[in-house]
Amino acid sequence: IEALDFRVVRDVSPGEAVLVTSEGVVHTEICHPSPQLVPCMFEFVYLARPDSVIDKISVYQARLKMGLTLANQILRCQPNHEIDIVVPVPDTGRSFAMELARKLDVPYREALIKNRYIARTFIMPGQAKRQKGVRMKLHPIKEELQGKNVLLLDDSIVRGNTSRQIISLVRASGAKKVFFASAAPPVRFPNVYGIDMPT
């Protein structure tokens, strides 16, 4: 919004309708009898840009905290983990992975390079198209992966098909072991107004 020389006045409240007339007069009304704030976690995990602020919460800071939470969970469950490097699944995996690597005190490496001309694979129709899309979307830097125990950190796992392909790609590039983690909390409820995906 600031990039377009607008200023943020406030967030639209749950259940609120906002009408701005052609003269610039703003009308607002709460249209729901008992509105609740029920944010979509995918906004914080995947859809929003890192420089966004949603309901007064920085998306970037939220992603760093999710990475830190996951690192703490790893340290609790596997204090003597075997992780040599942390590799984000680009692009949204970066924020989570940087903080996780810092907390685990292991190197952060961008060993998967994204082809920016391929659309989001998890919303492609049909499994065959999604698989081909993943192969075209990510290219490994083999020198970073060979002989290492790699923790791949993705923002989320929707179907798991893409995750399996990324793991296979990293294994084929010479990684000794591949661990795969998702920074997102579990999907527990459908968002009927968002992206159509199974929950």
What pLDDT was estimated at residue 187? Answer: 73
What pLDDT was estimated at residue 188? Answer: 75
φ, ψ of residue 20 in degrees (nearest 5): -115, 120
pTM here is 0.81
Query: Cβ-count burial of 143 within 10 angstroms (0-12 exposed, 13-18 middle, 19+ buried)?
Result: exposed
Distance between CA 83 and CA 24 in Å, rounded? 56
Alpha helices by DSSP H, listed for 50-126, are: 59-77, 93-104
What pLDDT was estimated at residue 140? Answer: 95
What pLDDT was estimated at residue 197? Answer: 54
Residues of the chain with pLDDT under 70: 118-135, 191-199
Amino acid at 113: I
What pLDDT was estimated at residue 162? Answer: 83
Q: How many CB atoms lie within 10 A of CB 110?
A: 14
What pLDDT was estimated at residue 128? Answer: 66
What pLDDT was estimated at residue 20? Answer: 94
